[in-house]
Each structure stands twice: as C-alpha cells, then as structure tokens.
Amino acid sequence: MAFDRIDRTILNQLQADGRITNAQLAERVNLSPSACLRRVHALEERGVIERYTALVNQEAAGKPSNVFVEISLNRQSEEALEAFERQAAESPDIQECHLMAGDFDYLVRVAVADAKDYERIHKSQLSRLPHVAHIKTSFALRTICKKTAFEF
C-alpha cells in the first residue's frame, strides 16, 4: 500500500501521540483541519489505522516479566487448531499468541508478576488449552526493545 508524504507524517504523528487533537495534527502536517480529518478518516476506512488505544506500562501494572511459551499440539487438524486458538484468545493472561512454522505450533507471550504468577497461569490456563502436547517455557531476563509503531 503506497502512502504519500502527508499520509506517512499523519501515521507517524498518530503513533507517537494517539490523543493529539485534529487541529494540532493538521498544523504539524501543514493541512487545514478539515483536509487533515478527511485524510485520517480515509486511513481508518482503508484499515491502515485499526484502532486507538493506550499503552500500559507492564512494570507499573504489576506484571514486569515476560514469559515466552512454545506450545506444540498433539495434532494439527483444522478442528484442533481452531479449538486451541479460540481458547487462547479468551485467556486473560495471554498477551500474544502466534501460529508458527517450525519446531512448535504456537508462540505465546505472557506478562507475569513473578515465577509463582507464571506457575498459576501454567496450571490453570496453558496446560488446559485444547490439544496441548508439549509446553516449553523461557523467561525473558530483560527487554532490549519493544516497538509498537511502524516507521513510515
């Protein structure tokens, strides 16, 4: 999808500050407020801007540690994959879940307070997901970078 200079600037500004007013945004991209708003609406309608959200600091929220969990299923039928994905998406403690190619089926990220918190999640949720055959857990020691924005 091609973006002109103004679209790229709008996207960069909104990713940096999703609460910016349309008047402020228009000034930063050198457009009238009405022209700027039309551009933003067009980006929303095209699905480029999916939604607006607040980013919560994990540590301040009491979940400073990331745990990455490799999960293999006992079979890869469409039914098994759908059942696993449906239940994983409903889990309140799973922050991310990715279908993978390679040595395991899913990579899950869980934000936890500590090892005891992860043990609770492992027992009450991860091990109870449908069709789970194997779970391999890795604790992140430190986050080097974490990006939420794309550079346009």
**47-65: pLDDT as tens digits:** 999 999 999 999 999 999 9
What is the reported pLDDT for 115? 97
In this predicted structure, the answer to whether residue 67 has a pLDDT above a threshold of 80 is: yes
- The runs of H, that is alpha helices, within 29-142 are 33-45, 78-90, 115-124
Residues, the chain:
152
CATH numbers and ranges of domains, the chain: 5-45 (1.10.10.10), 65-139 (3.30.70.920)
Task: Say what the pTM is.
Answer: 0.87
- 1 band by pLDDT with thresholds 50, 70 and 90: confident
The DSSP symbol for 63 reads -
User: What pLDDT is recorded for position 10?
Assistant: 97
Per-residue pLDDT band at 2 (split at 50, 70, 90): confident
